[in-house]
Structure 1
């Protein structure tokens, strides 16, 4: 059985859902419950956003959880400094991968992306950080450029690559194909981060796992920007059912977590999850 690691981004991407704003106390409680549940990594937030985000990330960092606590950062050294000030040395650095973002959103070029990544990753590594690199809008990027970025990230010392289907435009067949190719061409561990704009987030996440992605980015209840992200509970159920992984997350605790996140987000969950969440083997 291939090991799978869940990277929970409820506190970062999940909070980008319309109308969702967790309090510091709610974020700490969610982090504790995620850790108790047994997720591998908690993306705690974006310290560069300032207070109260810094307060929440620092508080979660001080919990000394079993789960890895990480932060989300732009290709800006100031972002890394803000993360370090919170006591977090697991830094995720995101960079634009598609020409749509590079040329039309940022008015830059591919050379600028590569050089900016090298500079910021180098700074983070010099300050003792474990670095993962995210390819934003990777699903609309040139495949050769994705391979080039992945190879460069690995050479700079990144431990993992996040493939982000930022606008949720992938379908499972293409997802598996591109993840298999990236894994074969680069040799770097791959994380898949799917959005649900076409209702494909869970299917694409399953396909990414089958293509070789060991790390899966999800949120509780599937909350997130626009139509949301891949739901943790759906991904677990799919992997248990289709891949027979027997992941063994505690149903009772997961139900409590889904309810708590739904209540904190102002989104009822009882109608969705009922008396028993179906994540059993």
Structure 2
């Protein structure tokens, strides 16, 4: 049936006369005979030859990057841990010294010792008798340059800080280190008032911490002008004069509301060392300080 339809079956038999060399009928394929295999195999061989040279530096870079990141992460972690422990330590120190003070709700500004003023028949002051040497004056009674003189010489950032001035403390530390001694103090007017009201003149780290705690309490309870008024009426000016009114009467023979600008500057300069700079004892030093 195959012949009737005209189909020809494939015949792989080669006549004997044409078979001269067996190599002519070698049907095995070489690498070059396969389509595209030569290039692919060559590329694969090249890739496998180059692979170790490429991957080795990458692994080294990855390892070095991981080492750097691990060191940085360790330093950052250690810094955070040290910072937390420092905060805990400072908080514990403050809590301990705060426990040595009276309870905050029981704190109150002590009353000023009474003063007796002896007046003439025309109302003029003849003498003051008492521990303070003068009456309490309101800040509104004083000329504006008088309280400003104290702010300028004792605490220029008085209206900016919250009772404790970190900038002033750092500046004082820098000045003391440069001059190799206690050349400047870092206490604010509020801290000085807290020391005068509640603490002793003792110089110690414990007292400074308590002073700072009390300064924060004063700033919370009173306004800036009220704190400045309390300060002007309590600070010591030498020669037994407590308060700016007593100092003006003692040194200039006039009330504080009548002092001049130069006299206000002299009063402001007395606070640093009232016994040494008192005008009735050392007028040239008081004038130089003013």
TM-score range, shorter chain: under 0.3
Of structures 1 and 2, the one with the larger relative CO (CA 8 A, separation 6+) is 1
**TM-score w.r.t. length of structure 1:** 0.24
User: More strand per residue: 1 or 2?
Assistant: 1
**TM-score w.r.t. length of structure 2:** 0.24
Compare CA radii of gyration and give the structure with the larger one: 2
User: More helix per residue: 1 or 2?
Assistant: 2
